[in-house]
């Protein structure tokens, strides 16, 4: 069983990939000032930017297992995910 981080910032710091509003986003960056997310929806490039205050104000929705964050115009749902990496074949050769 996994535990939910106590805030969105903690979840973002360990995430390898995000899902925002149902779209997978591999391209995101987090710094002290903001969170930038980019994703493609078909041929359309979508961009979201959230300030540190908006990240701090985000809340976790237990029912939908996602973070709700508002950009000043609308609520967005974010799921922070950790990627699985395949083991390198060389890892088995430790003789």
For the whole prediction, is pTM greater than 0.85?
no
93 φ, ψ to 5°?
-95, 65
Q: What local confidence, expressed as pLDDT, does residue 87 receive?
A: 64
pLDDT digits (tens, 9 = 90+) for 8-20: 999 999 899 999 9
Q: Which regions of the chain are under pLDDT 70?
A: 1-4, 83-95
Q: Residue 67: what pLDDT?
A: 97
Q: Domains for the chain: give ranges and CATH numbers.
A: 8-82 (2.30.29.190)
């Amino acid at each position: 069983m996994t535990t939910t981080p106590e805030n969105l910032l903690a979840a973002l710091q360990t995430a390898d990939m995000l899902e925002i509003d149902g779209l997978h986003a591999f391209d995101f960056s987090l710094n002290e000032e903001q969170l930038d997310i980019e994703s493609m929806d078909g041929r359309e490039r979508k961009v979201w930017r959230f300030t540190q205050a908006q990240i701090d104000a985000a809340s976790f929705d237990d029912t939908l297992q996602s973070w709700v964050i508002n950009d000043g115009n609308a609520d967005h749902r974010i799921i922070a995910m950790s990627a699985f990496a395949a083991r390198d074949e060389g890892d088995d050769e430790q003789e």
